Every structure is written in C-alpha cells, then in structure tokens.
A = this chain, B = another copy of it.
Amino acid sequence: MILRLRGNRVWRRAFSTTPRRAEIQDAEVLQDRIIPRYQRTATSDLLSLQWPSPPRNILMIKKDYAPAVTESLIEYAKHIHSNYDNVSLIFEPRVASEIHESFPFPVYTTTKTSILPKKVDMVTTLGGDGTILHASSIFSTTLYVPPILSFSMGTLGFLGEWKFAEYKRAFREVYMSGAAVSSPLIEAETHRHIQTETGDIVTGWSGVRGKFMGPTRTSKVLFRHRLKVGVFDSDGNRVIGDNTAESARGDVHAMNEVVIHRGKEAHLAIIEVFVGGRFLTEAVADGMIISTPTGSTAYSLSSGGSIIHPLVSSLMMTPICPRSLSFRPLVLPANTPITLRLSEKNRGRELEVSIDGRRRSHGVGVGMEVRVDGEDIDKGNEWGSGVPCVMRGAKSGREEDDGWVGGLNGLLKFNYPFGEE
C-alpha cells in the first residue's frame, strides 16, 4: 500500500489504519534530544564527538527519486533496529509512508519540521551533496545542529560522504563515539541502564549487540560554519520565507551560500553591496554569491572564486558574470556583516534569492535587502558552531587528515596534469 499524503486527512488515516508492524508514529512523542560534546584533540583540527549517553532518535534522510537509494535505506534502517536498542528512526513524511511497511517495527515522522531540532540526536543521509544540504536545511534556524553521518550511493560528493558499503562500521563508530572515555558510561556498561539528564531511563552502550570490545576510536567531526541570512523589505521589515521555522526565529542559515540572481530576466541585475556597514560597490551582474568556505567549491567555484579550506573562518563574496573587468572575489572575516540591496535602477524587476540551491518562492524587489552575517559562535561553549559532519577515516591512517587534499585531487581534479591518460 502506497499512501499519498496529500493533506492532513490522508495523513491521519496513515496513523490510524496502518497495522502496528508498519506503524508511523508522531515524532512529537519521542524524548528530547541529547546534545553531544565535541573535544579538541592535539593531533587534529577536527573535533572528537562524545555522547554523554547513547543517541536514541535518528533522523534518516534520503535522496528523492532514486529507487536504489530507497532499498539501501531500508537495509540500513533494519540494521540499526536489530543492533541498537532503544533507537527510534525518524523519516520525512513522504519517505515514512513509502517505506514503513517494509519494517516490523514502528517508525516516526512529523509534518511539523520545526519540532525536529528538539528531537533529533543525530542525522544520517543517503544520497549526495544535495541530500546533505537538504538535511542541513531542516536545521537552518537551529544553532546546534545534530551530527550528520552521510553516505553516498554512487560517486562520492564534496561534502565528505562515506561509501554506503561502510555503513555498519561507520554507524557503530558514531554511535559509540565517546563511550569509552566518559566515565559514567563505562559504569553504564555494567549497570546496563543509566539516568539521562532528563531523568528518563535509557539503554547504555552495552545494549549494542555483540561486538563491544573496549574503548573505540571516537568519531572525528568537521564543523562546517554557516552563514546567517535575513531578507528585509525597503522599510527594513523582515520578509518571511517559505521555511516556517524561519518565521519563528528570523534568520536562516546557509551551509553553502546565499545567491541573488537575475533568474529568467535576460537583463543585468544591479545590486548595491555594503560590507561592514560601508558601501563597497554597485554590482552590475547576473548575480552575487555570498559563500561559506564549504560553499567555496560549489557555485562560487564555478563563478571564479578561490577554494577555501573549511577551517578558515571567513566568507567569500563572488560576483556572477559581473559587467566589469575588475570585480575579483573577496574573502572576508566570517563575522563581517554584508548587505545586498536591490538598486532602484532595476526598474521594478524582481531578482531570485536562493539558499543552498533552493530558490525562495518570493524574489526580492527594488529596495529590498539580503543581509548576511557569520554564524553566531557560541563563545562560552567548548565547541564551535556550524554543521557537525562526521568525517570518514583518513585512508592514510593519519589522524589529522580532514580529507580535503584528497577531495581536491580525487573529486575536483585540481591541477589535473596535461597529456595523455
């Protein structure tokens, strides 16, 4: 049975009529999320992930329109359910209804995306870079994004996906990360159940079937810093986007970039650019990109930007096809406020605004502003902010490898040599 979830009515039917073995339950009933700690290590610029107690609520995101991915997702979900106690699997509504019948256990979902940041301990994705960007967008108004473990089905992407074949080892490593180092958990091994901060009873890591064999290596996490983006009308009032979370919180965060573009207009856009509160320049161009270091290998690269290592705390401003010989990309401190204002000279036209490749349904008109800022870094906190991406272990076995150099060569064909193959 395939459910077509058009409107609440059908949805409600899904909750009520599906037999228990393939039940879809509301994610609201799940316990609140567990926030992990991230510790600096001497040997690496990556942080090491430490769960105070085992993660319970796992959000599983998959790429659309790819049957092979769906099958892999089912295999993966079954593996988690069989091997890890007390883990609840959350899916997006369409996915939940598509696959819940494959499982002999209930799955969770919600149509209120805004509750996910409160519930999800960890995210795992199956797909490519676009799938990770989508997962990140669910947390676009959240300061502390849960760690993301991403798998690629076919060719690897730039955002550090693991090969799907590695899923058992990879999930185990993330799930166990920190188990051996944090003393209460060692204790938990013997008692089997421990108290979480919130008073609930959960299964400790000893609940992991089979192969627990003493301290494991902790997962290495790369924080991908984001941009904070707000759209304002010509009176300075915030314009709410499609994202409902946005309406509540204000700014949204971008993992790659925010883009203003002429879109389908065959004519040039005219954009006033302010940097740190000062007028910098009037861009006459197809558009403008404000990108994170992560996004420096995405659209910005295509527009002539330099490649920035994700650990350089910065923003890059890259024009798209500027009508000027002298508009070079700029790299700015991450906390520089930037405003892009639509000049009066655009004569009433609207420009498109997209965040991480998703176009906002409403463009921006004359006098409207896109305001960008670095992500608020929680200074008191021992760990950084951003999107915590679990990195695949370095092939070379070197601790400090963040995979970036390998990605430049293997994926981007950086400085690819001339001559025959």
Interface size for chain A: under 10, 10 to 19, 20 to 34, or 35 or more residues?
35 or more
In the complex, A149 has a CB within 8 A of chain B? no
A357 touches B411 (CB 8 A): no
0 or 1 for each of A385-421: is its CB under 8 Å from B? (1 = yes): 0000000000010101100010011111111111111
Using Cβ atoms and an 8 Å threshold, which residues of chain B touch A324? 302, 326, 415-418
A80 to B45, CA, bound (A): 49
Using Cβ atoms and an 8 Å threshold, which residues of chain B touch A357? 266-267
A306 touches B321 (CB 8 A): no
In the complex, A8 has a CB within 8 A of chain B? no
In the complex, A37 has a CB within 8 A of chain B? no
In the complex, A153 has a CB within 8 A of chain B? no
Min CB distance, A74 to chain B, in Å?
Answer: 24
Using Cβ atoms and an 8 Å threshold, which residues of chain B touch A264? 263-264, 352, 359
A276 touches B405 (CB 8 A): yes
Using Cβ atoms and an 8 Å threshold, which residues of chain B touch A275? 405
Q: Which residues 256-309 of A sit at the B interface, judged by CB distance below 8 A?
A: 259, 263-267, 275-286, 293, 296, 299, 301-309
- Of A174-182, A328-336, A375-383, the segment with at least 4 beta carbons within 8 Å of chain B is A328-336
Using Cβ atoms and an 8 Å threshold, which residues of chain B touch A321? 299, 302-303, 320-321
Residue of B with least CB distance to A316 = B306
In the complex, A156 has a CB within 8 A of chain B? yes
Tell me how many chains of this kind the complex includes: 4
In the complex, A155 has a CB within 8 A of chain B? yes
A413 touches B325 (CB 8 A): yes
B155 touches A322 (CB 8 A): no
Min CB distance, A166 to chain B, in Å?
Answer: 15
Using Cβ atoms and an 8 Å threshold, which residues of chain B touch A311? 333
0 or 1 for each of A176-209: is its CB under 8 Å from B? (1 = yes): 0000000000000000000000000000000000
In the complex, A13 has a CB within 8 A of chain B? no
In the complex, A15 has a CB within 8 A of chain B? no
A309 touches B326 (CB 8 A): no
B415 touches A413 (CB 8 A): no
A309 touches B331 (CB 8 A): yes
A327 and B414 in contact, given A266-B354, A320-B321 (Cβ under 8 angstroms): yes
Using Cβ atoms and an 8 Å threshold, which residues of chain B touch A358? 266
B400 touches A276 (CB 8 A): yes
Using Cβ atoms and an 8 Å threshold, which residues of chain B touch A279? 405
Using Cβ atoms and an 8 Å threshold, which residues of chain B touch A419? 155-156, 411
Residue of B with least CB distance to A311 = B333
Min CB distance, A266 to chain B, in Å?
Answer: 4
Q: Which residues 25-47 of A sit at the B interface, judged by CB distance below 8 A?
A: 45
In the complex, A323 has a CB within 8 A of chain B? yes
A412 touches B325 (CB 8 A): yes
Query: Which of A259, A284, A305, A420 has most B Cβ within 10 Å?
Result: A420
Min CB distance, A421 to chain B, in Å?
Answer: 8
A332 touches B309 (CB 8 A): yes
Residue in B276, B277, B331 whose CB lies within 8 Å of A312: B331
B312 touches A328 (CB 8 A): no
29 A-B contact pairs sorted by A residue (CB < 8 Å) = A263-B263, A266-B358, A279-B405, A280-B409, A281-B408, A281-B414, A281-B415, A282-B417, A286-B302, A301-B328, A305-B306, A306-B306, A307-B328, A307-B331, A308-B331, A309-B330, A309-B332, A312-B313, A312-B331, A314-B314, A320-B321, A323-B418, A324-B418, A325-B327, A325-B416, A326-B416, A327-B414, A412-B418, A413-B418
Given A155-B419, A283-B415, A312-B333, 14 new contacts (CB under 8 A): A155-B420, A263-B264, A280-B405, A285-B302, A296-B331, A307-B328, A307-B331, A309-B332, A312-B313, A320-B321, A324-B326, A324-B416, A324-B418, A411-B418
Residues of A within 8 A of B (CB): 45, 155-156, 259, 263-267, 275-286, 293, 296, 299, 301-309, 311-314, 316, 319-333, 336, 352, 354, 357-359, 396, 398, 400-401, 405, 408-421
